[in-house]
Amino acid sequence: MSDGKMLLHACCAPCAEYPVSDLLSLGIRPDVLYYNPNIHPKFEFDRRREQVVKLGEIYGLSCLYSDDFRMDDWLSRAWEGKYDSRCDMCYEIRMDYVARYASEHGYDSFGTSLLVSPYQQHDKIAKIAEQCAKKYGVDFAYYDWRPHFREGQAMAREHGLYRQKYCGCIYSLQDSEFKDKIIASFPDSWEASR
Ligand code: SF4
């Protein structure tokens, strides 16, 4: 099945806001897919997923998501030694899933909101996504949205979307200068729900 449909991976709602509005302005109506098993803890994973669903509603786009919260698997792969860095692994897990999903569900191409962030390893993400696209026989829709990062964040603020203060994994939470504040925003039961 091929109807020129695009799948947009959303790492989170604030990062997906500009890519979504840009694609719409180009006449492209992507389906949005939340797939981020890297996010820790489960409360945060759910919170970001809810915001992506909300973004989909704002723009009238289909929003798909996986409840794949595989912290143990993510961590064990992080220690496999197969990757140069944990971020390489993190990008590959997500791009591999998105490319495979796109291929298996009749999409022609996929993109990712990770490409809006000046804090991510842009070239590496693009390279890994290209490799995954080739592997599954779909196109990778490359966009450099970085010049519009602040604009997208401002749009997300206007829409009242939650904007997190760490990338997502347990390591980035540990390293965040806002760690105490972030943990204070979790419910008392968050440790039990890891
Ligand atoms: S810092 Fe971000 S990209 Fe890197 S491993 Fe953690 S969640 Fe993934």
Q: What is the mean pLDDT of each run of 10 residues along the chain (194 residues)?
A: 80 98 98 94 93 97 83 71 87 95 98 98 98 98 98 98 94 93 85 59
Query: Measured between alpha carbons, how far is 85 from 78 in angstroms, rounded to an integer?
Result: 8
Answer whether 172 contacts ligand 1 (Cβ < 6 A): yes
- 13-25 vs 42-59: helix axis angle to the nearest 10? 20
Give the ligand 1 atom nearest the CA of 120: 3
86 CB within 6 A, ligand 1: yes
* Residue 91 Cα to ligand 1 middle (Å): 8
pLDDT of residue 4: 82
Listing DSSP states for 95-159 in one string gives HHHHHHHHHHTT-SEEEEGGGG-TTS-HHHHHHHHHHHHHHHT-EE-----GGGHHHHHHHHHHT
SS3 of 181, please?
A: helix
Cα gap 169→177, rounded to integer Å: 14
Determine contact, residues 31/8, Cβ cutoff 8 Å. Answer: yes
The confidence score (pLDDT) of residue 32 equals 98
The pLDDT value recorded for residue 2 is 42
Pocket flag, ligand 1, residue 168 (CB < 6 Å): yes
| Ligand 1 binding pocket mutation candidate from 96, 172, 176 (most atoms within 8 A of CB) | 172
- From the CB of residue 60, how many other CB atoms can be counted at a distance below 10 Å? 8
Please state the CATH superfamily assignment of the domain spanning residues 6-189 in this structure.
HUPs (3.40.50.620)
What spacing in Å lies between the alpha carbon of 89 and ligand 1's midpoint? 9
* Ligand 1 atom closest to 114 (CA): 3
The Cα 17–Cα 55 span in angstroms is 7
Regarding the beta carbon of 167 and ligand 1, being less than 6 Å apart is answered yes
